[in-house]
Structure formats: C-alpha cells, structure tokens
Amino acid sequence: MKQSQAVILSLGITLILGLSAVQTVQAQLTETNAVSDFLQFGSASNPGGFVGFIQAFETNASEFYPAFLPSSGVVPDNVGIQLLESGSSAVSDQLWTQGGFWYFASDPNLIDFASTGITDLGNIVETGNPQDVSGFFSLPANSMLISSDVPEPGTLALAALGGLSLLRFRRQRE
C-alpha cells in the first residue's frame, strides 16, 4: 500500500511541475502564436549592417519569408542550406539567397532548390538550440543563427519527471 501511495504522490508532483512549466512558457510567448523558428542575423550578413531577427509562428498561414533582407556582397547568389528534422532526412527549414536577398522557408512552405536554381551548400540537423550557419555562406561567426522547432520546456520537464518517477518506483519494488 505504501508503494502505491508513493507512486500516486510522485505522479501528482510530476503533473503539477509539468503544468506549471508549460504555463511559464505560455507567459513568455503569445498564447496562440507559439514560435516555431527563430532566425537571427548580424551586421555582416547584409550591406546595411542591420542586426535583427525573424520569428516564424506555427499559427501563421505561411512560414515563407521572401526577400526579407538584402544579402551582403560576400555571400554568393542562389545558394542555400536546409535544416533536417532530428532523426530524419525530412527537410524542415531552408535559408537561401536569391536575386541579392535572403529568403527563409519552413515546412510546409518549402521550395525545391534544384528546380529554382539554388545550389544546396549543405544540410544540418536541427537541435532546437541556436545554430550558427554563417560558415555555409562565408560569413563571420554568429552572422546567421537559426533556432528551429524548439520543444516546449514544459513537455520535456513532464517527460523527464515521469521517467524518473517510474525508475524510482521500479527500484523500490526490487
């Protein structure tokens, strides 16, 4: 009887902590517009020396950002990279130059690089953390950073605490 009470208590604490973590995330973002992708650009990425960012929201009708910034003279035209979903070969996001401008697309608004004359400079696997993609475009470090498809911390916290509770219960039974 004591083991079942401990399991119920552990699961209750896990649920409370997980729900509070999700509420914290929602307070930081708008409640209906969770950020799916975040692209940061530095001054070396464009001739105007602008520093800024683009946020792609999951609830947008489109996650295609055409010609959002002029590209610098250092970056060749018609080149791009693709971000792959973790554990998969599926393309999730694309960043490229075309006609002297930067473009960004996230699924389901991806383009076919080959048919549009874009040279694929390489692929990287998304980590959910900021990833420096500047080197692909011959830019100085931290000129282009992409954070893509970041899982909500509340979901991760809930899963981790649930797993720890099950391990604890299993060890108590042995």
Q: What is the pLDDT of residues 37-76, one digit of tens each?
A: 899 999 999 999 999 999 887 766 678 999 999 999 889 9
The conformational region for residue 23 under phi > 0 = left, psi -120 to 50 = alpha, else beta, is alpha
Phi, psi of 124 (to 5 degrees): -130, 150
Residue position matching structure tokens 């991760």 = 156
The stretch 99-126 carries a mean pLDDT of 95
pLDDT tier at 172, thresholds 50, 70, 90: low
The two three-digit tokens of residue 53, written as one number: 């960012």
The predicted model scores a pTM of 0.67
**pLDDT, tens digit, 9 for 90 and up, residues 19-44:** 333 332 322 333 344 778 899 999 99
Is residue 70 within 8 A of residue 134, CB to CB? The reply is: no
By residue count, the chain amounts to 174
- Could you tell me which residues come within 8 angstroms of residue 6 by beta carbon, excluding any fewer than 6 positions away? 168, 169, 172
Q: Which residues pair with 144 in a beta bridge?
A: 41
Query: pLDDT higher for 173 or 80?
Result: 80
d(CA 6, CA 45): 56
Q: What is the 3-state secondary structure (H, E, C) of the chain?
A: CHHHHHHHHHHHHHHHHHHHHHHHHHHHCCCCCCEEEEEEECHHHCCCCCCEEEEEECCCCCCEEEEEEECCCCCCCCEEEEEECCCCCCEEEEEEEECCEEEEEECCCCCCCHHHCCEEEEEEECCCCCEECHHHHCCCCCCEEEEECCCCHHHHHHHHHHHHHHHHHHHHHC
